């Protein structure tokens, strides 16, 4: 469903992502695990058609991000902590607006907005302006807005960043529900607990390069480390220290 095929992205002389190849299947949760600056956001933004790759390919459901960006956008929900909400719309108006952008209208639109409001427990503040919402409330509205068209692929850039444990729990429950509905889910994180809790497979990204991939037990076996945290450090630190080729 989600594919990267030798994707590279540079910013001037800086290589942010190099030769990234990975695949996320329907019903699979894939964690892109890497330290700050590893290239996670850059890779996900290329997939979401917000950045152009410098080399290689990425596609969603067979639609190429460069050649068929509109098809890609119809097939994905992209969630990023840095995304703003329109402060002067109410929570409900914002979800409606994004539903319209995705081609929903009339009673179909209203039903879908009601579903999103119920699913993410937005009811209590649906008439409040987005500018007046708490971080956790904003995150729920962002999720509703990103998912209003019920796309088959979900791309979540550090989805629990800045959230308290309870709001984080909402996101975990949501990811598990969407997985059981057959969605392909790719999320980035630097938190081991999140990976252990959610991911079917993990790709470890360091300095723009995928240095290892597998299930959590496979990564632990690969490094001979006693835990995912140690495995992660073993995989990532040598690269940062310049010891690896």
Please give the residue ranges that form the binding site for ligand ADP (CB under 6 A): 11, 14, 16, 34, 36-42
CB of 188 vs Mg ion, minimal distance in Å? 6
Between 12 and 106, CB nearer to ligand ADP: 12
Answer yes or no: are the C-beta atoms of 167 and 135 closer than 8 Å.
Answer: yes
CB of 110 vs ligand ADP, minimal distance in Å? 37
CB of 16 vs ligand ADP, minimal distance in Å? 4
Work out which of 41, 59, 126, 189 binds Mg ion, going by CB under 5 A: 41
Gyration radius of the chain over CA positions:
18
Residue facing Mg ion at closest CB distance = 41
d(CA 161, CA 76): 20
CB of 205 vs ligand ADP, minimal distance in Å? 7
* Part of the chain binding Mg ion (CB under 5 A), chosen from 18-26, 39-47, 125-133, 148-156: 39-47
Judged by the rule CB under 5 A, the positions of this chain that interact with Mg ion are 40-41
């Amino acid at each position: 469903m989600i594919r990267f095929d030798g994707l590279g992205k540079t910013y001037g002389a800086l290589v942010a992502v190099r030769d990234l190849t990975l695949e996320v299947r329907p019903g699979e949760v894939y964690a892109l695990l890497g330290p700050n600056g590893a290239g996670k956001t850059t890779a996900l933004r290329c997939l979401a058609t917000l950045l152009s790759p410098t080399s290689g390919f990425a596609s969603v459901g067979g639609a190429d991000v460069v050649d068929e960006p509109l098809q890609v956008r119809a097939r994905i929900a992209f969630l990023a902590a840095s995304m703003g909400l329109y402060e002067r719309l109410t929570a409900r108006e914002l979800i409606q607006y994004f539903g319209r952008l995705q081609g929903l209208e009339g009673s179909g639109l209203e039903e879908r907005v009601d579903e999103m409001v119920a699913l993410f427990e937005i009811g209590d503040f649906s008439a409040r302006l987005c500018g007046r919402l708490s971080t956790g409330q904003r995150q729920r509205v962002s999720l509703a807005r990103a998912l209003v068209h019920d796309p088959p692929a979900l791309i979540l850039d550090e989805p629990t960043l800045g959230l308290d444990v309870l709001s984080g729990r909402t996101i975990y429950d949501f990811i598990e529900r969407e997985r059981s509905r057959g969605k392909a889910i790719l999320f980035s994180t630097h938190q081991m607990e999140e990976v252990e809790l959610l991911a079917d497979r993990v790709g470890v990204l360091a300095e723009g390069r995928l240095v290892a991939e597998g299930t959590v037990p496979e990564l632990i076996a690969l490094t001979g480390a006693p835990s995912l945290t140690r495995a992660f450090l073993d995989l990532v630190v040598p690269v940062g220290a310049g010891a690896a080729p």
